[in-house]
Structures are given as C-alpha cells and as structure tokens.
Amino acid sequence: MSIIKARKLLTRCFSTLSSPPLRVCVVGSGPAGFYTAEKMLKAHEGSQVDIIDRLPTPFGLVRSGVAPDHPETKIVVNQFTRVAQRERCSFFGNVDVGSSVSLSELRQLYHVVVLAYGAESDRAFGIPGEDLKGIHSAREFVWWYNGHPDGRNLNPDLKRTDTAVILGQGNVALDVARVLLRPSVELATTDIASYALAALEESSIRKVYLVGRRGPVQAACTAKELREVLGIKNLYIHIHEADLHTTPADEEEMKNSRIQKRVYELLSKAVKAGTNPSPDQRELHFVFFRKPDRFQESEERTGHVGGIHFEKTVLEGEAGKRRAVGTGEFEDVNCGMVLKSIGYKSVPIDGLPFDYQKGVVPNMCGRVLRDASGEPSQSENGLYVCGWLKRGPTGIVATNLYCAEETVACILHDLQQGALASASSLPKPGREGLAQLLEDRNVKVIPFTGWEKIDSEEKRLGGLRNKPREKFTTREEMLKVAFE
C-alpha cells in the first residue's frame, strides 16, 4: 500500500523535474557507505543518494569502533559530513532494514541498492565453556567503551579479577589491551563513554595476556598499533625468549613483508632480559604458539570463567601460508575475563544471498550474485555490496575507499551496458517514496539535521568535562535531542 502511495507521489514530483534522477540507496553509514555515496554523487550527476542506518547516529565504526584515544582517525567524519550535506544526498537514521523497511521494498523504491552495513556479529571458537560468564567478544567490549547503544549494557566485571586474556593479536586486540592497561587519567580526556571510564577507574585488572596461535612474525597487528601499546607508561612487557627464535620460513616471510619485519623487531626490542615487574607496574604478556582448547569454570564462582586450557602449536606449510597445528602439549592460564578478538562476522538480512562459510554476500567486484558459484550471469539486478559485507572484516578505514570505487565502477558499467533500468525508462519513487513508507509505519526517522543537534549537544556536554564530546548512549536520549 505504501509503495502505491509512493508511486503517486513520484508522479507529482516528476512534474517539476526535467529528467528523473537515478535513485540510489546505500544501507549503512560507516566508511564503506559514505565512500560509496561520495563516489556515486561525483560520478553520476543525475544520481540522488539516500543513506540508511539502523542507528540514529551516522559514521558506523568511526564512531563506535575506533578507539577513543585515536581522535586523528575520526577526522574523516568531516569529509563524510560534507557528503551528507549535499543537496542530492539524504540521511535516514533510526531506520532498520528488516523491521522498518524490507530489502525487497527498497529494491522497488530505488534503481540501485548498495548494502554496506558491515559486520555486527562475531566468529566463535566452538569449544567447551565458551558460554561461561566473563567471556565476551572484543567487538562487544569495544562497543561498550565507545558508547554504542547495543553495547552499553555489557557491564564487564573489571573488579573481581586482576587478569584478563585477549585471544587474538590483531589491531582490535591491541586496542582492547591498551584501554585496559592505559592509565584512566589519560582516557578521561577522550570521548570514551562515561560509564566505561568510571568502570576502568575502579578496575582491578593489572595483567593482560595477548595470545596468538602463531608466532611473533605472523602477529596480525600493525607497527603503529604495537608501538602505542608498548609505549604505555609504567608497563612491564613479557615475551618468552624462545618464542622470538626465528626459522628460515620466518626470515623469508619478513623478507617479503616490511610490516611483519617491523612488528617482529618491535617485539624483540621490547623484551628486557632478566627483569621482573615491580609491584606498581601493570603487565602485558605476549603469548605465542597457543590455541584455546577449552574454557575452564572458576572454582569460586559457579558459571564464570576461571581460566583457559591451551594447546601448544607449531607452524606447518610453506612461508606465507603456514598454519598452526596442535602438538598435544597443554598448559593452563588462570583469568577472570576473556575477550575474543578472532574476527567480526556479517549477518544476512531477508532476501539477501549469503555465503555463510565466508561470512560475506557472494559478489563479483561488488555485484551481488544469487549464489556463491561466482557465475556473472547469476547477478542480482540493481543490488550491490561494499565494505566488510563484500570482502570480509579486513583492512583499515581507507581500504573502504578503494572498495567503494570498485563497486561504483560496476554500477556505472551496468548502467552503460543497459543491465540496469535507466532513470528515464523506469522512474522510481526513491527518497520521497521511502519517506512516505516510513511515515505510514510511524518510524521516527532521524535526518542529518537531527544528527547535527545530537552532535552539537554531545560536544557541549563534553566541553564541561574537558572531553571532545560526551556521547549519548541510548536511542531514547538521541531521539529526544534530535527532535527538540
């Protein structure tokens, strides 16, 4: 019924236009979504782009994923703001694809739909004890300290244990370790959520283990992130000297990768032989060649994690493709909190082809395919993908720029080849149609001007506490400010 209303609205709208616009909808307002919108607006002067997000706030992981002590990475929101403020671009916040509007309805309303909603779930180990209390994903923890509305109630227990184990050694794992170990007074002037800062100020955690299945040469972090965590004040670093011994295969990998070589060098220099931590120091232990076999229940706290049973590993295979295999030797590490940093995972929505094994939408250069066969003739007309949903949860913010360029190039190619219905041959309701549909369903849409009110108030409140902003962390708070 709403679609019919939208088409009537479309007819009235086009009576004042010389030619109807190409209607493009981007689902997801993180870097992948905004870069796609920017490239599309620049490449096609007749395009009109609408960005949808399930949250009232835009910018995705730039707001809820980037560590609070990395303000320089967040500067990209200035560029995204300029995109959203363009006349041919609109933001529809607080709109969920699934409950507010379906994918099939979006495809009726728009010539082109680009899915860029990222990865909002987590990979699992699938080992015994994984459901014990005190075990969280790194994503949940990051959302918690960044004030994501879906993460604010995590309430990790930082008081009843002095030891945390982080499984994984990528950049997210290092972010989490840094937040746990960095003096809270240094975090107090960032945009960290106020409830998270209060919890960290009272934290009892003094020892953090960063555990990886492979060796220091294969650590998945970047030198920049590693340098930051190694530079934390009054922090004792421990690495077993035997773990730093390299093999010919390690040497070959470092010869072929400047990043791997630099990471290894930093780890090697961080070790101070024969020293022990002083009583006032916090500790960071890098542990290599270990994989969790099972999580152990605490003897004092029923249903809560008390440690991890690890299997020692060795690397097998050729240089650059080596994998960790178990040796049959085991050891235990006691801890009261575990953070799993083994990868984000995308989730499908109704009507969307999905490759569950890879955790991505099957696609060819951004064109959504009906199955994972890779056959170009099986592409879904007018449906595209970008970002983590397209390639998996890899890369940095800027990686999405190149990803978006590829997807937009496919859209333009398909338009030129006639694979997509042109705006002139098949006008569609687009923005006006979506607005009508959402109004009929009483969806409280947050436009970009609503976000600007939230942004302004957060900055005002932050200024009172010597912070760049004091984030609102519930949808109710955000909606109230946006509609004032």
State what percent of residues in the chain have pLDDT above 70. Answer: 94
Q: In this model, does residue 440 exceed pLDDT 50? A: yes
Q: In this model, does residue 335 exceed pLDDT 50? A: yes
Per the CB < 8 A criterion, the answer to whether 231 and 224 are in contact is no
- Position 31 scores a pLDDT of 96
Per the CB < 8 A criterion, the answer to whether 371 and 145 are in contact is no
Hey, what amino acid is at 472? F
- Position 16 scores a pLDDT of 35
Q: In this model, does residue 292 exceed pLDDT 70? A: yes
What pLDDT band is residue 450 in, cutting at 50, 70 and 90?
very high
Vertex 457, ends 452 and 461: CA angle to 5°? 150
- Position 5 scores a pLDDT of 46
Hey, what amino acid is at 393? P
- Position 350 scores a pLDDT of 87
What pLDDT band is residue 426 in, cutting at 50, 70 and 90?
confident
43-100 tens-digit pLDDT: 999 999 999 999 999 999 999 999 999 999 999 999 999 999 999 999 999 999 999 9
Q: In this model, does residue 17 exceed pLDDT 90? A: no
More confident of the two residues 434 and 357: 434
Q: What is the mean pLDDT of residues 391-398?
A: 87
Q: Which residue has the tokens 């575990």?
A: 338
- Position 141 scores a pLDDT of 97
236-287 tens-digit pLDDT: 999 999 999 999 999 999 999 999 999 999 999 998 766 788 888 999 999 9
Query: Three-state SS string across the chain, please?
Result: CHHHHHHHHHHHHHCCCCCCCEEEEEECCCHHHHHHHHHHHHHCCCEEEEEECCCCCCCCHHHHCCCCCCHHHHHHHHHHHHHHCCCCEEEEECCCECCCECHHHHHHHCCEEEECCCCCEECCCCCCCCCCECEEEHHHHHHHHCCCCCCCCCCCCCCCCCEEEEECCCHHHHHHHHHHHCCHHHHCCCCCCHHHHHHHHCCCCCEEEEECCCCHHHCCCCHHHHHHHHCCCCEEEEECHHHHCCCHHHHHHHHHCHHHHHHHHHHHHHCCCCCCCCCCCEEEEEECCEEEEEEEECCCCCCEEEEEEEEEEEEECCCCCCEEEEEEEEEEEECCEEEECCCEECCCCCCCCCECCCCECCEECCEEECCCCCCHHHEEEEEEECCHHHHCCCCCCCHHHHHHHHHHHHHHHHHHCCCCCCCCCCCCCHHHHHHHHHHHCCCCCECHHHHHHHHHHHHHHHHCCCCCCCCCCCHHHHHHHHCC
342-385 tens-digit pLDDT: 988 888 888 899 988 888 999 999 999 987 666 666 789 999 99
State what percent of residues in the chain have pLDDT above 90. Answer: 81
203-230 tens-digit pLDDT: 999 999 999 999 999 999 999 999 999 9
Q: In this model, does residue 2 exceed pLDDT 60? A: no
Q: In this model, does residue 154 exceed pLDDT 80? A: yes
Per the CB < 8 A criterion, the answer to whether 214 and 313 are in contact is yes
Q: What is the mean pLDDT of residues 187-216?
A: 97
- Position 346 scores a pLDDT of 87
**Lowest model confidence (mean pLDDT) among 30-39, 299-308, 374-383, 426-435:** 374-383
Alpha carbon 14 to its chain's center: 39
- Position 374 scores a pLDDT of 60
Write down the pTM of the prediction.
0.91
